[in-house]
Amino acid sequence: MGCLAVMAGWPLKRWLGLALVMLHLVTLGCALPKEVKSKVGEKVGLPCCHEIPSSESLRNYRVYWQRNSREVVLAYSQGVKISEDNQYTNRTELDSKNLTLWISPVEILDNGTYQCVVQNLRISHDFSPRVVCDAPVSLSVTADFSEPNITSNVINTTCESTEMVVTCSSYGGFPKPKISGFFNNGSLIWNTTWVSESSLSPYNVTGKLHLNVTKDINLTCSVEYNGFVKSTSLLLTKTNDCIAPTMPPSYNVITATSIIFIIFLLAITLAARYFPRHACFHCSKNQDPMDEDEKESMKPPTISKTTSETSSV
Ligand SMILES: *[C@@H]1O[C@H](CO)[C@@H](O)[C@H](O)[C@H]1NC(C)=O
Ligand SMILES: *[C@@H]1O[C@H](CO)[C@@H](O)[C@H](O)[C@H]1NC(C)=O
Ligand SMILES: *[C@@H]1O[C@H](CO)[C@@H](O)[C@H](O)[C@H]1NC(C)=O
Ligand SMILES: *[C@@H]1O[C@H](CO)[C@@H](O)[C@H](O)[C@H]1NC(C)=O
Ligand SMILES: *[C@@H]1O[C@H](CO)[C@@H](O)[C@H](O)[C@H]1NC(C)=O
Ligand SMILES: *[C@@H]1O[C@H](CO)[C@@H](O)[C@H](O)[C@H]1NC(C)=O
Ligand SMILES: *[C@@H]1O[C@H](CO)[C@@H](O)[C@H](O)[C@H]1NC(C)=O
Ligand SMILES: *[C@@H]1O[C@H](CO)[C@@H](O)[C@H](O)[C@H]1NC(C)=O
Ligand SMILES: *[C@@H]1O[C@H](CO)[C@@H](O)[C@H](O)[C@H]1NC(C)=O
Ligand SMILES: *[C@@H]1O[C@H](CO)[C@@H](O)[C@H](O)[C@H]1NC(C)=O
């Protein structure tokens, strides 16, 4: 309220200069509302502007926790709860000393600017309770996004480059995120689309990128929301089309070489099995007309004979 009064007085005081107005805003503590961050499902405490001294109690006060300047979230008068918004049923608690408003569990719909207004019932001012203080607190609610999922589709590939469409997607987070990305040390602009049922619902986000890859690159996709970041990296390899035309011939050469080598081996194996027989048969034919079997049976006596001859000598 004090903040608005100063704002209304702004045109009148314009001659005093911006500096003085700024001074007023700062003095009243409404230049920057205190910001509290919380994640969905957690418990958060919104600080109030007054702490009740130990000599007094909540019974001497009227406390309003409001939202967006009008809606009453929770109100206490003389120590008794006098009002509570349906949206906050069973989720709020008021600290009876420092008047902190506790909300648990936090929901996305709780996002917004709150205001704590404290009146002292014992001190009246112009026949109404004196406003002890009045201060805004902004609650920014965050819901975590999923780890980004990167997929790539090659749409054309030539000798110099590979043209691909890269998609990065993440879902279920809040608030509306930004997608940024890097490849090696360059930054990228993603063509981003968001899907959400309302401005206070979880978002699904998809970024698309048309890339012309001339060498292998390490691509990073980051989803940023309310100061939090979720990132995924993917190594994109250039599919080399230059080698492709020469690859089949080289494969053929290797295959042909292998086949020839195998045939050669087979030939040698077969030769090894049959050639000695033929050779021996051939030579035995020259030296001895006897059959192989006969020659075999004849051998031992020949040897023994020679041995005996040697021993006799
Ligand atoms: C208010 O008191 C509670 C404990 O009663 C404490 O946890 C909280 O930090 C206090 N808040 C402020 C703003 O002092
Ligand atoms: C709030 O809590 C009371 C008592 O535990 C319960 O009866 C009531 O149904 C709850 N209300 C909501 C909206 O959860
Ligand atoms: C959520 O609350 C913050 C703090 O009040 C505000 O800046 C932001 O615009 C709100 N977001 C939405 C979607 O209302
Ligand atoms: C990533 O997206 C692809 C295609 O949409 C899907 O098949 C895959 O399961 C997703 N991976 C994860 C981890 O969500
Ligand atoms: C692939 O790119 C080449 C050179 O840029 C182009 O000539 C060709 O038409 C493209 N093919 C397709 C299917 O887009
Ligand atoms: C990184 O950036 C510097 C300067 O902007 C540039 O000279 C360099 O070539 C870049 N390196 C890569 C791998 O893109
Ligand atoms: C972004 O995507 C939309 C729809 O897919 C398309 O119409 C638009 O031309 C794209 N913009 C850029 C800069 O690629
Ligand atoms: C967001 O994505 C999730 C998981 O893929 C899906 O279940 C949900 O319906 C999507 N939400 C919207 C608003 O499209
Ligand atoms: C991709 O880069 C190559 C070589 O730099 C170029 O010839 C081609 O036209 C580019 N394609 C696109 C879609 O930018
Ligand atoms: C890609 O880059 C990110 C960050 O720059 C790094 O954490 C990651 O290990 C890199 N991945 C590969 C496969 O090089």
- Tell me the pLDDT tens digit for each residue of 1-54: 444 444 444 444 454 444 444 444 444 444 567 899 999 999 999 999 999 999
Q: Is the CB–ligand 9 distance for residue 241 below 6 Å? A: no
Instruction: Provide the 10 A C-beta neighbour count for residue 209.
Output: 21
Nearest CA to ligand 1 atom 14: 98
For a mutational test of ligand 10's pocket, the pick from 229, 233, 236, i.e. the residue with the most ligand atoms closer than 8 A to its C-beta, is 233
Q: Is the CB–ligand 6 distance for residue 311 below 6 Å? A: no
Is 15 part of a structural domain of the chain? Answer: no
Identify whether residues 62 and 100 lie together within a single domain: yes
Is 170 part of a structural domain of the chain? Answer: yes
Quote the domain boundaries for residue 179.
149-236
Identify whether residues 182 and 117 lie together within a single domain: no
Q: Say if residue 276 is preceded by a cis peptide, omega within 30 of 0.
A: no
Identify whether residues 173 and 208 lie together within a single domain: yes
Is 100 part of a structural domain of the chain? Answer: yes
Is 127 part of a structural domain of the chain? Answer: yes
Identify whether residues 220 and 137 lie together within a single domain: no
Considering 99, 126, 142, which residue would you say is the last residue of a domain? 142
How many angstroms separate the alpha carbon of residue 223 from the centre of ligand 4?
A: 16
**From the alpha carbon of 113, which atom of ligand 3 is closest?**
5
Identify whether residues 107 and 65 lie together within a single domain: yes
Is 265 part of a structural domain of the chain? Answer: no
> pTM of this prediction?
0.68
Identify whether residues 110 and 42 lie together within a single domain: yes
Nearest CA to ligand 1 atom 5: 95
**From the alpha carbon of 48, which atom of ligand 1 is closest?**
13
Per-residue pLDDT reduced to its tens digit, 170-223? 999 999 999 998 887 678 899 999 999 999 999 999 999 998 888 888 899 999
Considering 142, 164, 190, which residue would you say is the last residue of a domain? 142
Identify whether residues 47 and 91 lie together within a single domain: yes
How many angstroms separate the alpha carbon of residue 90 from the centre of ligand 2?
A: 6
Taking the CA of residue 286 as centre, how many other CA atoms within 13 Å lie in the half-sphere pointing to its CB? 5
How many angstroms separate the alpha carbon of residue 257 from the centre of ligand 3?
A: 71
Q: Is the CB–ligand 10 distance for residue 233 below 6 Å? A: yes
Identify whether residues 167 and 212 lie together within a single domain: yes
Order of all β-strands in the sheet with 44-46: 44-46, 101-103, 92-94
Per-residue pLDDT reduced to its tens digit, 47-81? 999 999 999 999 999 999 999 877 899 999 999 99
Is 120 part of a structural domain of the chain? Answer: yes
How many angstroms separate the alpha carbon of residue 43 from the centre of ligand 3?
A: 18
**Is residue 250 very low, low, confident or very high in pLDDT (cuts 50, 70, 90)?**
low
The ligand placed nearest to the CA atom of residue 193 is: 7
CATH number of the domain to which 180 belongs: 2.60.40.10
Considering 126, 142, 158, which residue would you say is the last residue of a domain? 142
Is 267 part of a structural domain of the chain? Answer: no
Is 284 part of a structural domain of the chain? Answer: no
> How many domains does one find in the chain?
2
Identify whether residues 79 and 63 lie together within a single domain: yes
